[in-house]
Structure 1
Amino acid sequence: MTITLASVMVIAKEPVAGRVKTRLTVAISPEQAAAVAAAAIRDTLDAMSMVPAHRHVLALDGEAGEWVPAGWSVVAQPEGGLDRRLATVIGGLPPGPCLLVGMDTPQVTPSMCGFDPNSYDACLGMATDGGYWAIGFADPAMAPEVIEGVPMSTDHTGADQLARMLHAGLRVQELAPLLDVDTPEDAAQVAALVPASAFAGAWTTAMAATAAGADV
């Protein structure tokens, strides 16, 4: 049975050189890293557009451009750490089951996002680096209590987030783990998984341009 969520949200940063995917710049230029980030966002938004929901929302740090697909509304991320931003943007959604994903897993597919709010209070998709790539709630009002204060960007963020949810008595559906794109090695692995994606094209183009420049 296909479940239509109330809200699907993607949280992302505007793909500006020097502000996104900075860990990739050991292998490619800041401008190329921004192009790779833009492709990752595009793939993610395309995939999440196919997840049935009454609204699709982009929580954006920066300015929206023509790259935002039709049918998506844009809200600004608030100030503060990632835990506060996640808690605020999810907590501000209208009532009804919701799912949020980040911009670092362009290999995501709609089938990976099968949150069942009829059987679970929440869901969590772990990232292989110890973080998490997705989080969802049967009621978005649950989010602030269980997200705010969880240490972010550590190798145990996902475990800490799951522990907080379970401690709150939530029934948590664990989604399939995915590899976040942080380093050039991550990017190469993900590009190999989805060779026809915009992300893989941008990564391949960047690496080819870098190799050509090194050969000159």
Structure 2
Amino acid sequence: MSDVRALVVAKAPVAGQVKTRLAVHVGARAAAEVAASALLDTIASCEAAFGARACLLALAGDLSEAVRGEEIGEALEGWAVRPQRGPGFAERLANAHADLPAGPPVVQIGMDTPQVRPEDLRAVAVALRDHEAVLGPAEDGGWWVLGLRDPSAATLLRDVSMSAPTTYDETRAALIGGGLTVGTARTMRDVDDAADARAVAGLAAAGEFARTWRAVAP
């Protein structure tokens, strides 16, 4: 699907700075390893869905300090990589879209759904033919994917409460309030804690995430 781009908004998996709820159960280093594997699986799915030249990463942090940072850097060959900017996540998210060069629609995800498949991402892209935005709910009340025909519409998210049980509802309301038609993608489970990691590893048993989780699981 050469007429759609993928945008991943993620943190460099630095021990002590990612997956802090998971780290309570497995330790900071192991939690960072799990985060790194989730990012690697996400990169692979985006690239398989749209091709490396149509993929972009908005990154918080420094891969040179990250677990498996060199490996992640190699996986990003052909991608455009830009730093995140802004004090809060809602602002960084809006800025990640605003910083994109003019071009085709965008399918944006994070790094917390390593079970995502290329066909899941392509389904969102297809839905953008009928809707100006597509939002995929997460089981915890957030969302895992946002598709936008016009990435500049992400400015509508600047006042949304992120990482809250109301995030999906607030985001949908903000998009509709901005005059957009909004489609709905399938529901997925984010990885925040050990129970999530265990469940998601079972959904994608052959992936890098599942292999890493099996190695570090308590």
TM over 0.5: yes
Equivalent residue in structure 2 for 1:91, among 78, 90, 98: 98
Q: Which runs of 4+ in 1 moved over 4 A?
A: none
TM-score (normalised: structure 2): 0.90
> Aligned letter for 2:96?
V
Equivalent residue in structure 2 for 1:131, among 124, 138, 142: 142
Match of residue 37 from structure 2: 39
Match of residue 193 from structure 2: 183
Structure whose alpha-carbon radius of gyration is higher:
1
Q: Deviations over 1:161-196 (max 9, x none)?
A: 001111222111211110000010000000011111
Match of residue 18 from structure 2: 20
How many residues end up aligned between the 2 structures?
A: 205
Match of residue 116 from structure 2: 108
Matches for 1:47-58 after TM superposition, within 5 Å: 47-52=45-50, 55-58=54-57
In 1, distance between residues paired with 2:37 and 2:162?
A: 24
Equivalent residue in structure 2 for 1:122, among 133, 149, 174: 133
Pairwise CA distance, 1:91:
1.6
RMSD: 1.3
Match of residue 213 from structure 1: none
Confirm or deny that 1:158 pairs with 2:168: yes
Q: Deviations over 1:101-129 (max 9, x none)?
A: 00000000111122233221111111110
- Contact persistence 1:94–1:140 (CA under 8 A): no
Which deviates the most, 82-91 or 44-53?
Answer: 44-53
Which deviates the most, 135-144 or 176-185?
Answer: 135-144
Unaligned runs of 5+ in 2: 64-68
In 2, distance between residues paired with 1:87 and 1:79?
A: 9
Pairwise CA distance, 1:72:
1.2
- Contact persistence 1:77–1:89 (CA under 8 A): yes
| Structure 1 or 2: more helix by fraction | 2
- Contact persistence 1:7–1:93 (CA under 8 A): no
In 1, distance between residues paired with 2:203 and 2:4?
A: 30
Pairwise CA distance, 1:45:
0.4
- Contact persistence 1:122–1:172 (CA under 8 A): yes
Pairwise CA distance, 1:92:
1.7
Equivalent residue in structure 1 for 2:177, among 160, 167, 185: 167
| Structure 1 or 2: more strand by fraction | 1
- Contact persistence 1:43–1:106 (CA under 8 A): yes
TM-score (normalised: structure 1): 0.90
In 2, distance between residues paired with 1:32 and 1:205?
A: 9
In 2, distance between residues paired with 1:141 and 1:154?
A: 23
Pairwise CA distance, 1:156:
0.8
